[in-house]
Amino acid sequence: MTNTEQYQQKKQKTDFDAVVIGAGFSGLYMLHRLREAGFSTRVYEAGDGVGGVWYWNLYPGARCDSESIYYNYTFSDELLQEWTWSSRYPEQPEILRYLNYVADKFDLRRDIQFETRITAAHYDEENNCWSIHMEDGSSVSATYFISGVGCLSAANIPRFKGLDDFEGQWYHTGHWPHEKVDFKGKRVGVIGNGSSGVQSIPMIAQEAEQLFVFQRTPQFTIPARNHPYDPEFIQKTKENYPQIREQMKESWGGFPIAPSVRSALEDAPEVRQEVYETAWEKGGFFLTYTYHDLTMDEAANETVSDFIRSKIRETVHKPEVAEKLLPTYYFGTKRPILDTHYFETYNRENVTLIDVKSAPIEEITAKGLRTAEAEYELDVLVFATGYDGMTGPLLKIDIRGKDGLTLKEKWNEGAHVQTYLGIANAGFPNFFMITGPESPSVLANMPLAIEQHVEWIGDCVEYLRDHGIEKIEATEEAETAWSSHCREVADATLYPKADSWYTGANIAGKPRSFLIYLSVASDRIDGFVRRSLQRDMMAFLWCHSQRQCRK
């Protein structure tokens, strides 16, 4: 009898080999990868369609801020050739169309159960399987339980006093209605100016009668300079996709752009200015690629931060408004933002910027919003207040491993998050996270990072089956080593200094810890090998995991 046959015989009869949460970029590819390998798989999705964040984020102005020709799956040559992006940074409907196209092309829908939310998953040690429970009271069992919940799907709606009494309509950008929200003739308030706020504010301003932006922290944002692609460019890209894909995999951020090896402090101020001007004109994230030490060294960072502040002063006509918009944190240590006419929007007569750092929001009233200084009457209130990132979506589900230990307990309510590679947890056999906390993901090109995780998990479960191994579980030692490596890399950078969703500081009461593996930085620290999106990482992690995890 072969190992695989022995494995099948020993394996507890379960409803499915694998259950996956979520039908976004992660869940769709995971389903395809597992099905191709012969595993029976079921995806559960809370929404009534595929798309994940791109299904829920329908707010005005929502678009991708990674260049579209790289922001897609690379696993299928056919798909790369068939799909054509219209512009550099496509809008949400186009990305959603792409994911629907993928779902149809690979016939994925037949294994996805929509409008079904997983609320709990408990490991049954005796039978070595996961028992998975849905909101509607049903449950199924599976050998492998895989999370594709995404890093940013648990909306942060700050608990302002009085929200229930608000007589107008209110929305969170990440749970936008599928019908158009009409701002015409309305007094609209937007709380928050991260990526979602910065994208939606210029669009809402064009339609609303009055727009009040409630800003707690001024943000650095860079012009996207979106433009349609011409057919020649698309044709060339398609011809070169095999090389482009290789370059993406070899890069530290998942884009085929070579990082600079120069320090910002090596260049004379005039030269540096020229470098920044050129990148600013190109738009997109080129500015972040200009020098290697922008997020490593305070003095280097000051040069680029000053440059962007000077652009804000140039763009915003009223000096007192421009002053309020000047960020003071280190550029890049909160997620960089791309915009289309964001700062220009503050030159409009119908837009008012309100600083809620100096005069905090005290309550939502029946008629609007009251800060420590004034009350603003509003018809519509938009929460662009972000997400309980990385851990939030997982902790919303009652996940229990061995001995009934909950993930919440294991991570000590978020005070001590520790994972192995951002994929596995000691005490939770056969449970995998796609782009979980401490994974190399959100600072890179997400679809590529997701592919890497999915392929790792796919290879892993195939290996288990082919070698007759019933379960895999991270050891505590491996987890501790990985976690301390993550912290070591982060602490060598400026990232932990910012109050961002990377650190959990954006959520009231959330313990602060750095929740992301900074693969980008590990590349630049002496003594660390490049560990993230290069081809060798799979091999490295796989060998490592076999040594550390195999029981």
Q: CB of residue 89 vs ligand NAP: minimum separation in angstroms?
A: 8
Cβ(73)–Cβ(106) below 8 Å:
no
Q: Which of 47, 158, 259, 511 binds ligand NAP (CB under 6 A)?
A: 158
Binding of residue 149 to ligand NAP (CB under 6 A): no
Binding of residue 450 to ligand NAP (CB under 6 A): no
* Part in contact with ligand NAP (CB under 6 A); list of ranges 22-30, 276-284, 313-321, 382-390: 382-390
x/- mask, ligand NAP, residues 316-345, rule CB under 6 A, reads -------------------x----------
Q: CB of residue 175 vs ligand NAP: minimum separation in angstroms?
A: 11
- Give the number of other CB atoms < 10 A from CB of residue 523: 20
Q: Which of 103, 191, 351, 489 binds ligand NAP (CB under 6 A)?
A: 191
Distances (CA, A) of 543 to 227, 456, 540: 44, 11, 5
Q: Which of 14, 116, 195, 221 binds ligand NAP (CB under 6 A)?
A: 195
How does 302-322 read in b/e, with b if 16+ C-beta sit within 10 Å? bbbbebbbebbeebbeeeebb
Instruction: Give the residue at shortest CB distance from ligand NAP.
Output: 194
Cβ(453)–Cβ(149) below 8 Å:
no
Matching residue, tokens 């420590």: 372
Binding of residue 217 to ligand NAP (CB under 6 A): yes
Q: Which of 52, 150, 194, 253 binds ligand NAP (CB under 6 A)?
A: 194
Of residues 189 and 427, the one with the C-beta less far from ligand NAP: 189
Class of residue 504 by CB neighbours under 10 A (exposed 0-12, middle 13-18, buried 19+): buried
* Part in contact with ligand NAP (CB under 6 A); list of ranges 187-195, 289-297, 458-466, 521-529: 187-195
Binding of residue 210 to ligand NAP (CB under 6 A): no
The alpha carbon of residue 143 and the mean position of all alpha carbons in its chain are separated, in whole angstroms, by 27
Cβ(439)–Cβ(531) below 8 Å:
no
CA 412 to CA 487: how far, in whole Å?
A: 17
Of residues 116 and 215, the one with the C-beta less far from ligand NAP: 215
Q: Which of 196, 290, 303, 532 binds ligand NAP (CB under 6 A)?
A: 196
x/- mask, ligand NAP, residues 67-106, rule CB under 6 A, reads ----------------------------------------
DSSP string, 204-247: HHHHBSEEEEEESS---EEE----BPPHHHHHHHHHHHHHHHHH
Binding of residue 387 to ligand NAP (CB under 6 A): yes
Segment 241 to 260, residues that bind ligand NAP, using CB under 6 A: none
Q: CB of residue 180 vs ligand NAP: minimum separation in angstroms?
A: 19
Closest among 282, 241, 258, 195 to 69, alpha carbons compared: 241
* Part in contact with ligand NAP (CB under 6 A); list of ranges 57-65, 76-84, 132-140, 229-237: 57-65
Backbone angles phi, psi at 454, to 5 degrees: -60, -45
Closest among 283, 289, 346 to 312, alpha carbons compared: 346
Q: CB of residue 486 vs ligand NAP: minimum separation in angstroms?
A: 18
Q: CB of residue 256 vs ligand NAP: minimum separation in angstroms?
A: 19
Q: Which of 211, 356, 454, 516 binds ligand NAP (CB under 6 A)?
A: 356
Of residues 74 and 226, the one with the C-beta less far from ligand NAP: 226
Segment holding 121, helix H or strand E: strand 118-124
Closest among 334, 427, 375, 390 to 515, alpha carbons compared: 390
Q: Provide the residue type at 58 as one letter.
A: L
DSSP string, 466-518: HTT---B---HHHHHHHHHHHHHHHHTSSGGGS-STTTTTTSTTPPP---S--
Cβ(72)–Cβ(447) below 8 Å:
yes
Closest among 44, 63, 45, 42 to 54, alpha carbons compared: 63
Of residues 17 and 65, the one with the C-beta less far from ligand NAP: 65
Binding of residue 64 to ligand NAP (CB under 6 A): yes
* Part in contact with ligand NAP (CB under 6 A); list of ranges 194-202, 269-277, 397-405, 460-468: 194-202
Of residues 199 and 303, the one with the C-beta less far from ligand NAP: 199
Q: CB of residue 443 vs ligand NAP: minimum separation in angstroms?
A: 9
- Residues binding ligand NAP: what is the number (CB under 6 A)? 25
Backbone angles phi, psi at 375, to 5 degrees: -110, 140
Spatial neighbors of 17 by CB under 8 A, at least 6 apart, are 34, 39, 40, 41, 142, 143, 144, 461
Chain residues binding ligand NAP by CB under 6 A are 63-65, 152, 158, 173, 191-197, 199, 216-217, 335, 356, 361, 384-387, 501, 506
